[in-house]
Amino acid sequence: MSQPYVEDTAGHVVHFVEHLDATGSAPQSLMLPKHLGVFGRLVFVVVNALATVGAGWGVYLLWTEETPGLWFNVLFTVVVAAIPAVLWIFLFGSGVEAKSDGQGEAEWKETRDSARAWRGSVVARDIQLAEEGSVSSFELTIALEDGSNARGRWRPAKASSRLPLQPQVPGIGSDVLVWRVPGADSAPLIIQVIDPTIVQHRHS
């Protein structure tokens, strides 16, 4: 399903479209998922801080009150401490991703007027699934008509927008249109692919 590929895909995104049109202008936006705003991050920090204090108090009680033994203290110290640790890691990771997405969007807006369209086809794909089996994200490797390759990632705008079925991910050999700035391999790019659900609907 996937092939090794070494390329930084930050700012390289996949868009579903109804049809491929190389005669128009480049997309206005990378259409990246929305992130927590200032207020949302502030609320998250407060919640994390309370969780950290609560976890600290729980660990204190473990080591000052009577328990079944050392093994019990060590085990539950790890479990309790892991809760705020995971929350802080998530907050930090989301902040890094939001910063990267913001920089990519700003760079695309500056360079999109120079972007040109290349036709290509999907030669590899890498699918990530959520716990319930829906598609949480996927990456496509594209072989372009000029002999070069490109790689881009699709992420849902929100969790409810995940693809429920793996067949909805563009298959190997699917035609695509890649909008990119000539000679700027590290710059953001957009891979447009026809939405499989639209194709299925038209043939139903």
In the chain (204 residues long), the average pLDDT of successive 10-residue segments reads 44 92 89 78 90 92 87 92 91 83 89 92 93 89 91 84 86 94 85 76 45
Q: How far is CA 142 from CA 103, 131, 175, 178, 180, in A?
A: 24, 28, 9, 9, 13
* AA letter at 135: V
CA 10 and chain centroid, separation = 10
The residue written with tokens 């590290």 in the block is: 186
Phi then psi for 158, rounded to 5 degrees?
-155, 165
Q: What pLDDT is stored for residue 103 in this prediction? A: 87
**Which tokens belong to 202?**
């038209």
| Cα-Cα end-to-end distance for the chain | 27
User: How far apart are the C-alpha atoms of 17 and 85, rounded to whole Å?
Assistant: 40
Q: Which residues pair with 40 in a beta bridge?
A: none
Question: Pick from 169, 158, 183: which is nearest to 14 by CA?
Answer: 169
- By the 10 Å C-beta count (0-12 exposed, 13-18 middle, 19+ buried), 168 is classed as middle
Q: What pLDDT is stored for residue 161 in this prediction? A: 79
Q: Which H or E run contains 58? A: helix 38-64
Angle between helix axes 70-111 and 38-64 (nearest 10 degrees) is 170
Q: What pLDDT is stored for residue 197 in this prediction? A: 67
